[in-house]
Structures are given as structure tokens and as C-alpha cells.
Structure 1
Amino acid sequence: MMRKTLGFVLSTVAAGAVLTACTGGAGHNDADVEFAQRMIPHHEQAIEMAELVGARTGNARIRDLAADIERAQGPEIERLTTWLSEWGASTGGGQGGHGEHDADHAGMPGMMSSGDLSGLSAASGPEFDRMWLRMMVRHHEGAIEMAREQLDHGEHEGARQLAQAVIDAQQREIDTMNALLTEG
């Protein structure tokens, strides 16, 4: 099931990349810029959380899910960064240190605080699994919220396609994570 989901996500991303190549920097608005500037650090944090999994869990399904998250969100960060460059906008910084991260991204839906990430980093085994799944569900829900805002207000076709792909892929992952939480 996970591999089938990954194949769908990757094919969706590839199709979006082809369509996006035709749009260039034209046809964007402030909502598109804000979406890209906010989604980059949001995805960076998801990757940071996914990177914690290997050393802290024995659950192969969680490891596979974390690897899928890393594979999907890395290319999306690259695409968002490219659009911001084409639009003449800054990337909005980056995560930096955890304390800087808290100040820079306060109020962004689904973002974990430095305390959350420290607690997660200190956990292992089943405790880590539960914490990671709950945090990643919350994190994905935040990404979906931002993607829906993009669909409501953005005009760049590639960014709108990416927003829909984020909604589709991350909702499937939320469903998987919730199922894992009820099993454990």
C-alpha cells in the first residue's frame, strides 16, 4: 500500500513539474509567494522530524512512512525555492537554530516548537513512535491548512497543483498514521 501511495505521489509531482515548466514566473500573486515562503520551512521541519526516525524506532512501517515523507518533500522544497527565485522573492530564511525557528515561524499551522522537537529527539521505541505519529499528524494538518489557503487565494497554476498534491498525499499519510496510532 505504501509503495503504491509513493508511486502516485511521485507521478503527481512529476506531472506537476512538467506543467509548471510551462508557466515560468508569470501569473503569480502575493498568496503564491506566501504559500511558498511558508511551505519551505514547514517541509524542512517535516524532513527534520523524518530524519529522527531511523535511530529511534524498530517499526518498519514508520520508517517507510518517514522515508516517503523525505522523498516527497525534498523535491517540493526545490520547486518552491525555484518559483520564489523566478518571482524575485526571498525564501524567507530557513529554519536556523531551534530558538530562531520558534520566533520565525510562530503561529504557522502545524509547526513544532523547539521544546517539542527536543522531547521527540530524547524519546525512543514505542514512546517515540506515538510522539512522532501524533506530531506528524498535527504537522500534516497544518500543511493541509496552508495548501487549502493556497487553493482559495493563489493564482499560480503550478503552486495550485502543488497545493492539491500536498492535500492529497498528506491526507493519505494522516490516515496511515492514525491507523498506526490505533494499532499501537
Structure 2
Amino acid sequence: MRRRAVVFVALALALLTAAVGIWLAVAAAARDTDAAPPVSVSPSASAAPVTADDYCYVEAMIYYRVKEQELAETLLRKQGIEAGASGFATGIAARDEDELEDLRAWYLSWADARPAEPPTDGPCGGHGSDHAQMPGMPSWSALQGFAAAEHPDAEKRFAEILHAQNAGMIALVTLILEGDPHPAVAESAEAVLQQAEADQETLQGIIDAVP
């Protein structure tokens, strides 16, 4: 019973960390515009209209990246993690922070394009008010299992959760690119797609390496 209580507390803290992280990822720039430099786009791209789908992409990617960071940090707090998995998790934390700088800037400068109500169709249809229903987001039971897991099961659960999340992210950016995105969004989405597809191979390797 004591172990179940500890696991529950650990999971609750992990989820709270993710929620706070997502809020901070967005609110940090709102408090201090110097903390998030302007997005570097060409003059023609700057003049391009920003749509609700463009803004949806920004919000969704903030959610995906902060959740990805939180999962990586949870793995790195565990003992005896295999070097390949820990190295991948360490790389995620740094890589995502760089991307979040641009996303925070877009979130502020494109606020007028934010829809008044969560969309029911289009790329973000059915995501909910906070994108928690996005494709690939982990279930409570999956997070609970990961929070309680130890080496080598922890690596496998981590990779499985991120593999599913990446698949959802690939589906989202594919829909975005099939539309008529803002030039900056198109450039970002192409980079996200390439990175996610490469990460899938790495994550599958981590999964396959666990007996």
C-alpha cells in the first residue's frame, strides 16, 4: 500500500510539473518580451496573414514539446538508465528549449489569430481547450506505469510513450502542411516532421533493445 501511495504521489507531481511547465512556456514571454526574441522570418513571410490553424500549430507544439521535456526529465531522475536512452532524453531537453523560444514569440505576436472557441474541425479539431486530447498524448495509466517503472522497463515505457506521441505529432504537422500555412509555420512544420521521423527510429531502437 505504501509503494502505491508513493507511486501515486510521484505521478501527480509529474503531471503537475507538466502542467506548470506548459503554463510557464507560454506565460514567460508574456511577462517579459525580452525573454523571447522575435521570430526571424523574411519580410514577405512577416507580412503573410496568420490563420487560426497557424495559431493552433503553435499551441499544439508548445504542448507536445513541454510534455516531451517533462517525460525526458522524469526518465533522467531514475537510477541506472541505459546510456542510449539517457543520452536521447538529455538531447531532447536542450533541443526543445531552443524550439520553444520561437514558439513563445509566435504565441504572443499572433494572439489575434487565436480562435474564440476550441475548433471542432481542421488540424486541431477535437484537441480540446488545452490540447490535452491531441493524438498520441499519453493516458493516465501509461503515465502511472512510467512513473513507477525502473530500469530497464522505464526506458521501454519512455520510448513507447514518446513513439506514440511522435506519431500524433507527425499526423498533426502533415495536416498543417496539407493546408496553406504561414511561411514560418511551414518551415517549422517541415523541420518538426523530419526530426520526428528520425526520432521514431531511435525510439524504436530503444524499445527493441529491452528484453
**What TM-score, normalized to structure 2?**
0.67
Q: Give the counterpart of 2:91 among 68, 83, 89.
A: 68
Structure 2 residue aligned with 1:153 = 179
How many angstroms does 1:154 deviate by?
4.0
What is the RMSD computed on CA atoms of the aligned residues? 2.4
Does residue 134 of structure 2 align to residue 108 of structure 1? yes
1:104 alignment partner, SS class: coil
Indicate how the Cα distance of structure 1 residues 85 and 121 shifts in structure 2: closer, same or farther if over 3 A, else same: same
Q: Give the counterpart of 1:38 among 48, 56, 60.
A: 60
Q: Kindly indicate whether structure 1 or structure 2 has the higher relative contact order, using CA contacts under 8 Å at least 6 residues apart.
A: 1
Task: Give the Cα–Cα distance (whole angstroms) in 2 for the partners of residues 59 and 25 of structure 1.
Answer: 48
How many angstroms does 1:127 deviate by?
0.9
Computing the radius of gyration from Cα coordinates, the structure with the larger value is 2
Indicate how the Cα distance of structure 1 residues 25 and 76 shifts in structure 2: closer, same or farther if over 3 A, else same: farther
Indicate how the Cα distance of structure 1 residues 144 and 88 shifts in structure 2: closer, same or farther if over 3 A, else same: same
**Which amino acid in structure 2 is aligned with residue 74 of structure 1?**
E
Which stretches of structure 1, 4 residues or more, deviate above 6 A after TM superposition? none
Q: Give the counterpart of 2:162 among 108, 115, 136.
A: 136
Does residue 198 of structure 2 align to residue 172 of structure 1? yes
Structure 2 residue aligned with 1:28 = 50
Structure 2: state its 5+ residue gaps: 1-38, 117-127
Structure 1: state its 5+ residue gaps: 1-16, 93-101
How many angstroms does 1:103 deviate by?
7.9
Deviates more, 1:46-55 or 1:70-79: 70-79
Indicate how the Cα distance of structure 1 residues 154 and 115 shifts in structure 2: closer, same or farther if over 3 A, else same: farther
State whether residues 144 and 167 of structure 1, in contact with CA within 8 Å, keep that contact through their aligned partners in structure 2.
yes
Structure number with the higher helix fraction is 1
Task: Give the Cα–Cα distance (whole angstroms) in 2 for the partners of residues 81 and 142 of structure 1.
Answer: 21
State whether residues 151 and 160 of structure 1, in contact with CA within 8 Å, keep that contact through their aligned partners in structure 2.
yes
Task: Give the Cα–Cα distance (whole angstroms) in 2 for the partners of residues 32 and 175 of structure 1.
Answer: 28
**What TM-score, normalized to structure 1?**
0.76
State whether residues 144 and 170 of structure 1, in contact with CA within 8 Å, keep that contact through their aligned partners in structure 2.
yes
Deviates more, 1:148-157 or 1:134-143: 148-157
Deviates more, 1:65-74 or 1:127-136: 65-74
In the comparison of the two structures, how many residue pairs are matched? 158
Q: How does 1:44-59 map to 2 (within 5 A)?
A: 44-56=66-78, 57-59=80-82
How many angstroms does 1:33 deviate by?
0.9
State whether residues 24 and 86 of structure 1, in contact with CA within 8 Å, keep that contact through their aligned partners in structure 2.
no
Indicate how the Cα distance of structure 1 residues 115 and 154 shifts in structure 2: closer, same or farther if over 3 A, else same: farther
How many angstroms does 1:21 deviate by?
6.0
* Identity in percent: 23
User: What does the per-residue CA deviation read over 1:25-77, in whole Å, with 9 as the maximum and x for residues that have no partner?
Assistant: 64321211111111111111111101112122421111111122122222222
Structure 2 residue aligned with 1:3 = none
